[in-house]
Structure 1
Amino acid sequence: MNAITKAYIALGLVCFFWGTTFIAARIGVSGYPAFFFMGCRNFTAGLVLLTIISVKKKTFPSIFTDIRWPDVRAQIIPGLLMICLGTGVVGWSVQFIPSGLAALIYCSVPILTIAINTTFLKGERINSRIAIGMLLGVAGIFLIFRGNLNYIQDPQSLKGVIIALASCFFWCFGGLYTKIYVPKTDSFFNAAIQMMAGGLGLFVLSLISEDWAHLPVIGTKSLLALLYLIFFGSILAFGSFVYAMDRLPAGLVSIYAYINPLVALTLGFLILDEKISWMTLLAFGVTVSGVFLVNMGYRLEKRKLEEATISVNHD
């Protein structure tokens, strides 16, 4: 099997497993404190990934003593933003809203990323396709809320929706940070430290809001969901993502953003009997169309930049 075929398989794994993390998180936190559960998931996944790196590089256990503090420090902020306040708190929100709705809200991440990057980064250009895509993304967010009024009317569910949407912003700001302060270390190392930092941040949130003196014994479903999220949702999926990104065009790899919510909606419907209305499907279609146009617009801008660079070099 050649490298390209393996890369397509890796992309398929990303599309599926990242889509399943929403329902796995909902199953897990249904029987265990959410922040503590997500903290265990991320810290353990980061520690396991760091151990895998050390074994693969045959530097065990020296990697744990030779780690440079500046390299670790550089990953703490994105870890807290993207892992703790980003995907980590989604585990809290799915206590009150369907996993499919949380995944649908996360569809807005590419749109929000463009809006935040163009606000804070110089040189970010928007063409007509990107602009139309962003408008469709905003319309999609409106339809998400319009199609889920029953959750908005319930105070607890509304809190879950707001937290899920806020987590998207934190994820985007974490991505902005890594774009401004580009790390020089290995991407697997960065991910491991980010997950561990995010996990520790979630433990702090748990300590503040959850009763550690009376933590329940973790049930079988929650334990299986935790193991699934550690090894499949975090380590396997992220490793597959990095492998695919190294061997396939970034625009192609980005299709996971379209497929993940569809996987989450489908599994939520089949396994947890979560309802899917025609408005939800319309919101999904509009939002995904917006993300598609944004990606097309960015590929167009990249092609123009490459052609301009070639032209200057020829001159």
Structure 2
Amino acid sequence: MTRRAVPVTTGSSAPDAPETPAGPAAATARSPQTLLWTALTIVYVVWGSTYLAIRIVVETMPPFLSAALRFVTAGLLLVGIVAWRFGPDALRVDRRRLASAVLVGLLLLVGGNGLVVLAETRIPSGLAALLVASVPLWVIVLRALFGDRPRTATFAGVLLGFAGLVVLTLPGSSGTVQFAGVVAVLAAALLWSVGSFLSSRLPMPANPFTASAYEMIAGGLGDLGIGLFRGEHLNPGAVSVHSWLALAYLVVFGSLVAFSAFAWLLQKAPLSLVATYAYVNPVVAVALGWLILSEPVTWSIAVGGAVVVAGVFVVVSTESATKRAPVPKDEGPLTTRADHSPDRT
């Protein structure tokens, strides 16, 4: 479903407009800006902090079973919210759209998020976030493979971003991390990109919250199956209080609050502004990992991360400018799904 973004005003009056006194009218005029920046701050901080929360969860919980618990819980809560807010009919979808939502959910939340959770048992949360930032770059590659012709500046941003990934993945350059974890995150970013790419081309439920609810339930059940296949066991008594609190944070804030704020932003703000989360989240994640978990910030993480973020900035800014033109009915903007990261639902 395509959403039409509304331009954001700067809050300043026109050059020849008379000044208005402060009061209720001025407060009312400022309220849309306040709501916009509140929602944007939520997306910046909460989605950036989910990598830290995942790292805390997997300290005492098995990766895939914890992901299953998170997404099944969040999905069922979202089903209830959709039924309460839009009515039970909003949950009714035909088999074709349900199958599409299930496929996308498996790609995003099993192949994408599940591998990130697994990887964070081996690598720092900040490094995981920087590697996940490559999602918009992979999406451009997929678009090019399927006949789209992105602008030259977009390709330049992709090459720049992948150069940063090379720096991040140089053996031994990111400190004492297991290379298998790095590979797992790169695979997660690719699978998430495939799911994002397909979600804009498959018939999906008309209500985006309904689609997300079914995606989360399907992905959570997929994570459950893989966790059981791997022989994971969840012993509630062995789980620390910190891990339980981090999981609750992921369910409520990461999967419900931040996603709702993001969906609202897509309707109320320019895509060029909304898409800035794609290069703010990794910075937040690295800072929180260093501050709270004392994760090291090596030269390659600093340099490679900066190059990746710069490449994503070029891609997002170029694509946002391109998407200001009208888009076909069944094609959403790049940032509707394609810029989601593996822990973003």
TM-score, normalization: structure 1? Answer: 0.88
Give the letter for the 1:298 counterpart.
Answer: E
Q: Supply the RMSD in Å over aligned alpha carbons.
A: 2.0
1:76/1:271 CA distance change after superposition, 3 Å: same
- Specify the alignment match of 2:44 in structure 1: 15
Write the deviation string for residues 146-187 of structure 1: whole angstroms up to 9, x where unpaired.
385366x76xx1111111110000000001111211424201
The one of 145, 152, 175 equivalent to 1:119 is 145
Q: What are the equivalent positions in structure 2 for 1:247-262 lying under 5 Å apart?
A: 247-262=268-283
Between Structure 1 and Structure 2, how many residues are aligned?
Answer: 296
The one of 124, 129, 153 equivalent to 1:103 is 129
Write the deviation string for residues 182-220 of structure 1: whole angstroms up to 9, x where unpaired.
4242011111111111000000110110244x7352321
**Is the partner of 1:149 in helix, strand or coil?**
coil
Contact 1:130/1:294 (<8 A) preserved: yes
Q: What are the equivalent positions in structure 2 for 1:223-262 lying under 5 Å apart?
A: 223-262=244-283
1:70 and 1:187 map into 2 onto residues whose CA distance is 16
Give the letter for the 1:128 counterpart.
Answer: T
1:68/1:182 CA distance change after superposition, 3 Å: closer
- Specify the alignment match of 1:281 in structure 2: 302
Gap runs ≥5 in structure 2: 1-27, 327-345
Deviation at 1:290, TM superposition (A): 0.8
Which one has a larger percent helix, Structure 1 or Structure 2? 1
TM-score, normalization: structure 2? Answer: 0.81
Write the deviation string for residues 63-115 of structure 1: whole angstroms up to 9, x where unpaired.
77x55443322200100001111022211110110000000101111111101
Q: Which runs of 4+ in 1 moved over 6 A?
A: none
Give the letter for the 2:210 counterpart.
Answer: F
2:203 and 2:45 map into 1 onto residues whose CA distance is 28
1:35 and 1:68 map into 2 onto residues whose CA distance is 29
**Is the partner of 2:317 in helix, strand or coil?**
helix
Contact 1:44/1:230 (<8 A) preserved: yes
Q: Is residue 2:181 matched to residue 1:160?
A: yes
2:37 and 2:305 map into 1 onto residues whose CA distance is 24
Contact 1:147/1:280 (<8 A) preserved: no
1:298/1:63 CA distance change after superposition, 3 Å: closer
Deviation at 1:279, TM superposition (A): 2.4
Identity of aligned residues (%): 33
- Specify the alignment match of 1:183 in structure 2: 204
Gap runs ≥5 in structure 1: 307-315
Mean alpha-carbon deviation: is it higher for 286-295 or for 256-265? 286-295
Give the letter for the 2:47 counterpart.
Answer: W
2:171 and 2:179 map into 1 onto residues whose CA distance is 13
Q: Is residue 2:11 matched to residue 1:6?
A: no
The one of 127, 134, 140 equivalent to 2:158 is 134
Contact 2:83/2:90 (<8 A) preserved: yes
1:108/1:150 CA distance change after superposition, 3 Å: closer
Q: Is residue 2:119 matched to residue 1:90?
A: no
Give the letter for the 1:235 counterpart.
Answer: L
1:106 and 1:211 map into 2 onto residues whose CA distance is 25
Contact 1:90/1:167 (<8 A) preserved: yes
Contact 2:271/2:320 (<8 A) preserved: no
1:67 and 1:178 map into 2 onto residues whose CA distance is 15
1:277/1:200 CA distance change after superposition, 3 Å: same
The one of 33, 48, 52 equivalent to 2:77 is 48
Contact 1:89/1:163 (<8 A) preserved: yes
Give the letter for the 1:283 counterpart.
Answer: G
